Amino acid sequence: MPNLTLPGIMDAHVHLREPGATHKEDIASGTEAALAGGVIGVLDMPNNTPPLTDRHTLDRKRELFQHKAVSDYGLFLGYGASATDEQPMDALREMASQVVGLKLYLDETFGDMLTREPRALARLFAAWPGPGPIAIHGESRSIAIALTLAHHYGQRLHVCHVPHPDDLLHIDAARQHGTQVTCEVTPHHLFLSDEAVARLGAYAHMKPPLVSPAAVSLFWQRLDLVDIIASDHAPHTRAEKESPVPPPGVPGLETTLPLLLRAVDEGRLTLERMIALTYTNPLAIYHLQPPEASGVEVEMGKPYLLPAEGYRTRCGWSPFAGQLALGRVVRVRLRGRTVWEEGRLLVKPGYGESLRFQV
């Protein structure tokens, strides 16, 4: 079978852990893992230590990416100001053109960036100028609140890692009534169920949590209501996962493509739809230009079992070990240059560039 050429993946939801937790992952290792998985661009979340919420932390993180990234990238801005402080609204507006979106955490997750105060949320939905959307982490009740705010203020909303397939129905209903809303699901909610918890223990601990096999089936049945598949790559070390209080999150940059290609082979989605979910739609939703002269070459071969180790991500493990997959990334071109070939990184840290907005 001839090798398959794809435009690559734009992973719209990753946590590369720098600054603040580089023992789990850093920008260099995370973007190298991206290329190894056929991902040419990543959108990195703001819940670092310190979180990216102001000009200083934005400038610092941009500098780190400029010096270390080997894939292209975009950064999310977070929010951590008090509801009564007017000045951060002006600062948010000024920074909006330099980030891919504003990320709000409406429910508990890893880190301390919870935003629930009603007045603060209303002011944020009224003030955010774009061009990127407001992206939210939220459980079902919080999603409903965000949909109401987005509709009231005419704001663009993106629902990250939809927690349950029934939420897709509510999101679609809001969309049908004129709300500007898009959404994503993760590979772990498509390829794992809560039955994996008995087998994997804390290695299957994530937020939103895994759902029942019946709900996984509904995610697939309702995939036409989904705009993006994004990894929510959130690495932690084995020691952390095996600790008395394991943090939520799993790595995924290197496994999204082979898992989805296996799903294509099984007839669960078309190749065209896979490309839309992982490349075309992320670029459109975040108003980003595709990198020129870029693409990924994949050796298809026969299905194989994903390994337990040998990954480029610093944490070195995968919750998908033992899952059937298809396709191995042979070569990655980024902006006219071969950056990854036969398991070797061919560019130095700093080759990656900030993704540019559409004009």
DSSP lists the bridge partners of residue 338 as 333
pLDDT, tens digit, for every residue of 20-78? 999 999 999 999 999 999 999 999 999 999 999 999 999 999 999 999 999 999 999 99
pLDDT for 229-251, tens place per residue? 999 999 999 999 999 999 999 99
Segment 310-322 shows an average pLDDT of 98
pLDDT for 180 beyond 90: yes
Sign of dihedral through CA atoms 335, 183, 226, 189? positive
**CB-CB neighbours of 317 under 10 Å:** 20
Return the HEC string of 131-162: CCCEEEECCHHHHHHHHHHHHHHCCCEEECCC
The whole-number pLDDT of residue 120 equals 87
Helix (H) or strand (E) holding 284: helix 281-285
> Region 133-157: what's the mean pLDDT?
96
**pLDDT of res. 113:** 55
Angle between helices 118-127 and 87-95 (to 10 degrees): 40
- Contact, 266 vs 310, CB < 8 A? no
Residue 110 has pLDDT above 70, yes or no: no
What local confidence, expressed as pLDDT, does residue 83 receive?
45
Residue 256, token pair as written in the block = 């999204």
Cis peptide before 133 (omega within 30 of 0): no
Confidence of residue 344 (pLDDT cuts 50, 70, 90): very high
Complete domains list, the chain, with CATH: 4-345 (3.20.20.140)
What does the pLDDT look like over 150-173, one tens digit per residue? 999 999 999 999 999 999 999 999
**Longest Cα separation, the chain:** 62
Higher pLDDT, 112 or 187: 187
Please state, in angstroms and as integers, the Cα–Cα distance from residue 316 to each residue in 24, 140, 152, 275, 342, following that order: 9, 32, 44, 27, 19
Segment 84-109 shows an average pLDDT of 84
pLDDT of residue 230: 98
Predicted TM-score of the model (pTM) = 0.96
